[in-house]
Every structure is written in structure tokens, then in C-alpha cells.
Amino acid sequence: MSTVLSDIAAQPAPSSSVRAFIGKKPRLLINGEWVEARSGKTLAVFDPATGSEIARVAEAGVEDVDRAVAAARAAFESGPWPEMLPAAREALLWRLADLIEQHAAEFAEIESLDNGKTRFMASIVDVPGARNYFRYMAGWATKIEGTTMQTSIGGVPGAKFHTYVAREPVGVVAQIVPWNFPLAMAAWKLAPALAVGCTCILKPAEQTPLSALRLGELIREAGIPPGVVNILTGLGETTGAALVAHPGIDKIAFTGSTEVGKLISKSAADTVKRVSLELGGKSPVIVLPDADVNGVVGGAANAIFFNSGQVCTAGSRLYVHRTIFDRVVEGLSAAAGEIRLGPGLDQATQMGPLVSKEQQERVLGYIESGRKQGAAVLTGGEAPSHPGYFVKPTIMVNVRPEMRVVREEIFGPVLVAQRFDQLDEVVKAANDSPYGLGASIWTNNLSAAHRLIPRIKAGTVWVNCHNMVDPNMPFGGFKQSGVGREHGRVAIDMYTELKSVCMLV
């Protein structure tokens, strides 16, 4: 039918193994067992490419949150996990990574069906990214260290002190993740916490719970002890909020919108939980006059259209020097017009739908607000006539700094393009945002790049590339884009407490 309505292909049928998995009874992973929600309530999961229900998952309530916290607490206080030899934890995390690798094709299919992204992208980005992340963080388990120090404590004649600082796992961690990279975000959260000996309660986004549940099956298969990882599917306002308020949790790690990040900060303050937040962005792409126009066109198109623009570091504000603005924007318009929309499991698809009806409406609402405020739509600007949640790749020009499309995070395939003349002007414009997650600079002038980098208020600055991440490269935001950094050594610091020990000898 859909081919009659538009040129978007029909979603091919999923494989029988994925059909069997998504047809399983709705359940939660608590203390190493698959259990139903106490209330028996369930939530529907939709295929964004068709808008039809494909699965149901359990909706965890307050009682389930209590059960999961009790299991994680017991596993932390008296279970084997924090006491295990670090090398044994490392080996279990590697085993989990190997299992992800063995099931890579299945994960790519699940991720595509659940989120809408293409199976191809999931198979080259999300799934290997998650696998590599567990491997990278597994290595940290054996590398935690402390320091000894000199002290000058006076007042005790003849006394000597042996003083050192040790690192200990922070405890029970609740990890709340979004829907744009469901498996990879789960890996970013679980891997460092598990490496240092924390126990976890993972809450995937209600729109995309499936890959976390499959990961839960592999966590059991790998032999990670009961209670070390608990997985609660459910809504943000209920399950998520109950986790954040729960007195039995030591730390909240959250990736999602700035709006929810603020709510979480406030709620977690009541029990002074440790909080790390990776929030929204409105990342500038700054193109200097000497840049290679063809390279910029390809790079800027990827920066905004990768994952249908549903990326917290998406290059959503384009600033091009006046001398090459028209060429860059014409090239981008042509590139955007050629992107083939379709369902994620169809091999010919280059860009999938957005994750949900709500997100599609939100993005279309932003485009409309831009039009009303006087912006011009060069390409796209609408949804194809199709029941899936598609939005055409969109480029807007004639925008002004105060417009909502320039100021707010759209989280969809919508680029706003602006001209600049002077470097000072573009620095001011790029930093004129409550966000500060990422930015990219496009130039072959090394000196100009080095002068610009320190002036841009962002947690990551890319030069002649965009959206590149690595487990060893700290990731996080300035300003309202977050608190703390993920990846690398700093992620280990985030999941540990320092203990100063001062011993009279």
C-alpha cells in the first residue's frame, strides 16, 4: 500500500529470530531473572517506518523499581561483583562484547526496527560501537589506581602519617538512556560502571526498549552475576522519575533532553545523588573561506542528516563565509534532495524515519515556526505522504539568530544556514546558544583553526570532520549541554568515589 501513497518502499519482513525475540512475553530483568511488572502493565513498541505496533514491553512501576534497587544493592554490598578480581570483571565484560559480536546481525536488525535507522548504519556504527565500548572499558577494570601523598599535619609531636587516596566504586547506579542510539547508549553507561565494580539499573527509552532487553539476555549468558545489571523498561515520568527519587541509588547517569536533565538534577538533589548529564546541543558548523567546498558539502550533510538528525551533536547550525555560501548551500540542497528515504530494513534506504509520531510532529512544528518567522525552506520542509514517521531532509535559509529554529534543538533532519564575514562575528554567533556540546570548523588554514578552537565553547571541537567519537576521547558538554564527561579515564572517575586515608604510624 505504502508504495501507492509515496515512493517510500515497504518495510521488508524481519528475520524469524528477531520475530521470535520481539514476540516474547513482556518482562523486566531483576536479580538475574526475567519477571513481569507487578502491575502487569505493558507498553506498545512501534516500527517507525510503518507506524504499526510490533511488540509489547513491561511497564515497570514503583514496586518493580524497589525490587531492582534491592537486587542491585544486595549485589553491591554482599554479592561477588565489587569483590571480584578486576581481571575477572574484565574477562566477563569481554565475554559480553564477544556475544554482542556473535549476535551483531540480529542487533542491527532489532535496532533498525525499533528506532527506524537503517540496518546498515546500525551494523557499522551502533553495534560495533557498543561492542568496542565494552572492550575498551573492560581494560580499565585492571587499571584503577590511587596515590600516596606527603602531608604537613602538625600539632602531634613526633607523629608520622601514612596518607593515601583510594578509588572505590560509587555503588548502585541508575542509568537512563535515550532512543537515538539505544544499544550504544546502554554500552556507554553500563561498561564503565561495571568495570569499576558498580551495580546498575538500566532504563532504556520507552520508544526503543528492545535492544536493551536483548542485551539483558546476553548479560545473563555471559555469566555476569544476578543483580549486577537490572533492566527496567517503562516511561520516563514514572519509572525514570521513581529511579531518580529513590533513596537506595547512589548515582544517576542520564543522557537525554536538557529539559529532563534539569528535572533530574532537581529531584536527585533531595538525596544528594551523584549526577552526570549528557544533554542537548545545537552544534555549529563553521566554514572558513578557504575550505574545500566539495568536502564541506559532504561533511555538513553528514553532520546534520546522519541518524535522521537525531544526534545530540548534530551539526544543525551552518555558518559559511559569504564568499562561498551560495556554492555550499546549493551543493547541500542537491545532496539533501538525493537522499533516499525508506524503511530501515530495505537495503536501498539511505535515511530512515524519525523515532516516533511525536518526534515527527515536533520537527514539522519547528519547520512551520521557521516559516512563520520568515525563514525560507530551500529543500524538504515536509513529511512524505506515508504512515511512517518520515521527514524530508530540510535546509532553511534567511534565518535570524532569534528564531526558534536557530536557538532550539530540533533533533531532526533540519539545517539552518547563515552567512558571516568576520571571524569575530562567527565566534559570537556560534557561542550565542545555551548549549555547548559540539562544533566543527572547516578550513585548511591551520593557524586559523588553532586560533578559533579555544574561542568556541563546546565539549568537542572537530576540524574538517563532525560527529566523530571514540571511547578514549572525553565526551560531554559546556553550559546547558551537560555535567561531567563520558569515555576515557574521566568515565572511570565518574563512577568512583575518592577515599582519603590518613594513618598515624
Indicate which residues carry an active-site annotation.
278, 312
127-140 helix and 86-102 helix, angle to the nearest 10 degrees = 170
Residue whose CB is less far from ligand ADP, 48 or 178: 178
Among 189, 175, 390, 197, smallest CA distance to 264 is for: 175
Residue whose CB is less far from ligand ADP, 257 or 350: 257
- Residues at the interface with ligand ADP (CB under 6 A): 176-178, 203, 205-206, 236-237, 240-241, 244, 256-257, 260, 263-264
Residue whose CB is less far from ligand ADP, 14 or 204: 204
Q: Strands, E, within 223-270: which ranges?
A: 229-231, 251-255
In angstroms, the first-to-last Cα distance of the chain is: 81
Residue whose CB is less far from ligand ADP, 176 or 320: 176
CA dist list (Å): 331 to 67, 139, 195, 300, 395? 55, 44, 46, 10, 11
- Cα–Cα distance between 34 and 51 in angstroms, integer? 28
Q: Reduce the DSSP state of residue 136 to 3 states and report it.
A: helix
- Cα–Cα distance between 309 and 262 in angstroms, integer? 23
- Cα–Cα distance between 490 and 234 in angstroms, integer? 30
Name the β-bridge partners of 397.
376
- Within a 10 A sphere around the Cβ of 147, how many other Cβ atoms? 10
Residue nearest to ligand ADP (CB): 236
Residues 6+ apart with CB under 8 A from 334: none
User: Nearest distance from residue 244's CB to ligand ADP, in Å?
Assistant: 5
User: Nearest distance from residue 504's CB to ligand ADP, in Å?
Assistant: 46
User: Nearest distance from residue 161's CB to ligand ADP, in Å?
Assistant: 44
- Cα–Cα distance between 353 and 50 in angstroms, integer? 9
- Cα–Cα distance between 456 and 477 in angstroms, integer? 12
Write out the three cell numbers for 373: 518567522
Residue whose CB is less far from ligand ADP, 194 or 354: 354
User: Nearest distance from residue 256's CB to ligand ADP, in Å?
Assistant: 3
User: Nearest distance from residue 321's CB to ligand ADP, in Å?
Assistant: 33
User: Nearest distance from residue 268's CB to ligand ADP, in Å?
Assistant: 10
Residue whose CB is less far from ligand ADP, 171 or 256: 256
φ and ψ at residue 154, rounded to 5 degrees:
-100, -170
